Amino acid sequence: MTLVQTHPRTPCADAGRRTAADAMDGAGPQVWDDMTVEVALSVMAAARTGHLVVRDEDGRFTDLVSRARLTAVRDGRGYTDRVRLRDVVVEGAPFASPLSTVAEAERAMRDRRLGALPVVDEDGNALGVLALTR
């Protein structure tokens, strides 16, 4: 099952005080962690996206997985068609609060060398994704 949630952008008068919620794009495809890696790659291809938001059995954000990461897992030595997303997600995956400033989120992304950072509310819901432009 693929869920798509979006959050409208709100205009902000002071660009220096823009929050992650102001700047994020919709979360895009959201999938459950019991999905296999192969199916997740198929969902990415169909959605024409480079990442998926992964949710646990309670519907809370657990990780943002990229096509490159899943392809590396699939091409790895221990891969079988039974490997699920929960087997490859990173516990404590980084995310931004909707109240974080854009500058804080950008600094975190650059420090961790992330191309995208999910925006997650206090209840664990992925609201959107921030992406660095080059």
Total-model pTM: 0.80
Which residue from 88, 4, 77 is spatially nearest to 41, judged by alpha carbons? 88
- pLDDT (tens digit per residue) in 10-39: 444 455 689 999 999 888 899 999 999 999
Spell out the CATH class of 19-131: alpha beta
pLDDT tens digits, 76-116 = 998 999 999 999 998 888 999 999 999 999 999 999 999 89
Q: What is the pLDDT of residue 17?
A: 85
Task: Delimit the domains of the chain by residue range.
Answer: 19-131
Tell me if 50 sits within 8 A of 44, measured CB to CB. yes
Residue 74, amino acid = R
